[in-house]
Amino acid sequence: MSDQPQLYLMTPAGAQASALGPLLAEVMDRFPVSCLRIRGGAEEDELGRIADLTREIAHARDVAVVIDDHVKLAQRHGLDGVHLTDGSRGVRLARTELGADAIVGAFCGASRHDGMSAGEAGADYVSFGPIGDSALGRGEPAPQDLFQWWSEMIEIPVVAEGALTRDLITRISPACDFIAIGPEIWSEDDPIAALAALWG
């Protein structure tokens, strides 16, 4: 557990593969991304195209790629694993389907219990959020003391995501392993500048 968490980048939800390639390559060349997550929200064919494109760009830079919920797409397109958006429920099945070497992550909202269940079921990391006020998740923002407790008590890496600001990132960083950024930058006219402002 270092004081400086790693950058975990999410693609724009519902993105088109053709528009995404150059932008992702530029972001990854300028920032030390450690994991890339393909968000859902597109048709399966388009997600497949995005999976192939992002895998090529990311793997060329030694960056792992996971996809929201689609275990079959992860297998078919040679991705590194899945990010399950419904907490601990699908972790065991995803692990069985994808094997021991795959990455299986779980978004657990603000639920310590769900996070622990995901860990016991074999998750490689747990994600809590939103950190700020946002429509992400199922209710209240994940409090900072949840991350504090997790980083002191649990070995499994923890990811912070959702409605992040520079100030929130500064505050939460000592207690988490990864900061997941996506919607915060893709809605801006200049995503690279927005990421630089958040990440520094």
Q: What is the pLDDT of residues 105-139, one digit of tens each?
A: 999 999 999 999 999 999 999 999 999 986 655 56
Cα-Cα-Cα-Cα dihedral sign, residues 69, 28, 150, 1: positive
Residue by residue, DSSP assigns 28-52 as HHHS-EEEEEE---S-HHHHHHHHH
Give pTM, 2 decimals: 0.95
Cα–Cα distance for residue pair 67/193, rounded to 1 Å: 25
Residue 178, pLDDT above cutoff 70: yes
CA distances from 115 to 28, 128, 181 (A): 29, 8, 20
pLDDT tens digits, 27-81: 999 999 999 999 998 899 999 999 999 999 999 999 999 999 999 999 999 999 9
- The topology (CATH level 3) of 6-199 is TIM Barrel (3.20.20)
Bridge partners, residue 37, by sequence: 10, 66
Confidence of residue 97 (pLDDT cuts 50, 70, 90): very high
